[in-house]
Structure 1
Amino acid sequence: MASELSGVGVDVERTSLPGIGLRHEFTTKRGRRLGVISHRTGRHDLVIYGKEDPGKRVVSVELTGEEANGLAELLETVHVVERVNDEHRQVEELVTEKIPVSAGSPYVGRPLGDTRARTRTGASIVAVVRRGGVIASPGPDFVFEAHDVVVVVGTGEGTAAVADILANG
């Protein structure tokens, strides 16, 4: 049985595959059909179907659960950056800053909520880059580590104030 998922900006068709798992598919603006088959075993198959024959698999890439999560995180990060860029176009004085968390920061080992950055500065921490990965939209319980790079959106004054908070408390 297929159903439409709403709120994702494209029509995603969800189909139950008895004994296997679930298949989610959608068609791109250019007419390419893409899908993800989520097996009950935790494996995922990323599938690209033929343009001339949308029922024929042209490419199928097997992903472990961990790899699928990595791909999902990468795509979410792209989405966050696109939203930030849209906000930049809408509000001229909005800036994005990448702020490193030094080993001497008073917030190393402490949660983001302790900074009260948004309340104190009006700027928002929208992502954290850690060891080459991106944590999009970290919550108040997210714990900082030395050498994290914090992505902050706000006014120039607000982002500078967040840098000061992370450096000096």
Structure 2
Amino acid sequence: MEVREVELPGIGMKFSFETAEGETLCVVIHKTGRREIYRFLPGQDTPDSVIELSDKEARELGAILIGTHFQPDVHDTARLVMKELTIEWLKVSSESPLAGKTIQENRVRKLTGATIIALFGPTKKVLNPGPETRIEAGDTVVVIGEQPQIEQFKDRFALH
């Protein structure tokens, strides 16, 4: 599937692709964080439907679409492999360098290439956590990346 990306000066970015059924979906991401999703039926120039989402609503929808609302019944780790991408659920121990620091302080993406897409703790659920999100011992992090990135993440942050 080819995703077309176009900069909209003064507005933001537009991403569009064609579905297997021939429909075109366009997502406009405004600089304000607001998102608009347009659905075009095959051969149509005007959208059949339009959905407007706040930044928070878009992040929640994104989390649902990539499956972070489904957490397998596991004790410490779980793995989901999709083509070249892997998603793993990993429990953070008190010995892990992640514990007690934010995602930014740990420089997760810069050091490993992996991305934390969700964080679950005894009293919290954070989907699409920002760089300021603090990780505590006992939390479960949901990490996505290519398998070598996931392995580097586990090695770097003592999550085996």
Question: What TM-score does the superposition give when structure 2 sets the normalisation length?
Answer: 0.50
Question: How has the CA–CA distance of structure 1 residues 36 and 87 changed in structure 2, closer, same or farther, with 3 Å as cutoff?
Answer: closer
Q: Which is worse superposed, 54-63 or 65-74?
A: 65-74
Paired residues of 1:26 and 1:33 also in contact (CA < 8 A): yes
- For the residues of structure 1 that align with 2:127 and 2:19, how far apart are their CA atoms? 26
Larger Rg, first or second structure (1 or 2): 1
- For the residues of structure 1 that align with 2:17 and 2:58, how far apart are their CA atoms? 17
In structure 1, the partner of 2:40 is 49
Question: How has the CA–CA distance of structure 1 residues 24 and 143 changed in structure 2, closer, same or farther, with 3 Å as cutoff?
Answer: same
- Counterpart check, 1:61 vs 2:58: no
In structure 2, the partner of 1:119 is none
Give the Å deviation of 1:49.
1.3
- Written as runs of structure 1 = structure 2, the 5 A alignment for 1:1-169 is 10-14=2-6, 16=8, 22-39=13-30, 41-51=32-42, 53-72=43-62, 84-87=81-84, 98-101=89-92, 105-106=94-95, 107-110=98-101, 127=116, 129-130=118-119, 131-135=124-128, 143-151=134-142, 153-154=150-151, 162-163=159-160
- For the residues of structure 1 that align with 2:30 and 2:87, how far apart are their CA atoms? 39
Paired residues of 1:125 and 1:150 also in contact (CA < 8 A): no
Q: Which of the two has greater strand per residue?
A: 2
In structure 2, the gaps of 5 or more residues are 69-79, 107-112, 144-149
Question: What TM-score does the superposition give when structure 1 sets the normalisation length?
Answer: 0.48
Letter in 1 for 2:6: R
Letter in 2 for 1:28: T
Give the Å deviation of 1:75.
5.1
- For the residues of structure 2 that align with 1:41 and 1:97, how far apart are their CA atoms? 31
Q: Which is worse superposed, 125-134 or 23-32?
A: 125-134
SS of the residue corresponding to residue 57 of structure 2 reads helix
Q: How many residue pairs are counted as aligned between the two chains?
A: 131
In structure 1, the gaps of 5 or more residues are 1-8, 89-94, 115-123, 164-169
Displaced runs of 4+ in structure 1, greater than 6 A?
Answer: none
Paired residues of 2:18 and 2:24 also in contact (CA < 8 A): yes
SS of the residue corresponding to residue 57 of structure 1 reads coil
Letter in 2 for 1:38: I
